[in-house]
């Protein structure tokens, strides 16, 4: 099968998933439950994506755990996104030197 068809199906499905709810919901949702639900969703999605996947993100649980701790500490003090991300990767890299 041509690779172009595969890519078209991938891209088409992914676009529709993104486009339909974003485009169709124009009015404010009335239900207080649903509005609260949607306000919590950003945090719960990111949390579910991060844990436990972050511990496997470097291919070594020990270096990844060191990186995770660095990220938690820098994030706790409210440092910018890029600082937290680089602190995590830098710590994982340094931890790898000692293994």
| 28-57: contacts with other proteins (CB under 8 A) | 28-29, 32-54, 57
Give, rounded to a whole angstrom, the gap between the first and last alpha carbons of the chain: 45
Q: Which of positions 67-96 make contact with other proteins (CB under 8 A)?
A: 67-68, 70-72, 74-76, 78-90, 92-93, 96
Does residue 61 belong to the site contacting other proteins (CB under 8 A)? no
| CA separation for the pair 68, 64 (Å, rounded) | 6
Shortest reach from residue 48's CB to other proteins, in Å: 4
- DSSP label of 47: H
61-76 and 81-97 helices cross at what angle (nearest 10)?
150
Does residue 98 belong to the site contacting other proteins (CB under 8 A)? no
């Amino acid at each position: 099968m041509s690779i172009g068809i595969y890519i078209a199906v991938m891209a088409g499905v992914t676009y529709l998933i993104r486009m339909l709810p974003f485009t169709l919901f124009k009015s404010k949702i009335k239900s207080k439950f649903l509005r609260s639900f949607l306000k919590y969703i950003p945090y719960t999605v990111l949390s579910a994506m991060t844990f436990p996947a972050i511990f496997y993100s470097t291919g070594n649980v020990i270096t990844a755990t060191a990186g995770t701790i660095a990220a938690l500490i820098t994030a706790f003090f409210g440092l910018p996104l890029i600082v937290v991300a680089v602190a995590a990767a830098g710590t994982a890299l340094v931890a790898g030197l000692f293994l």
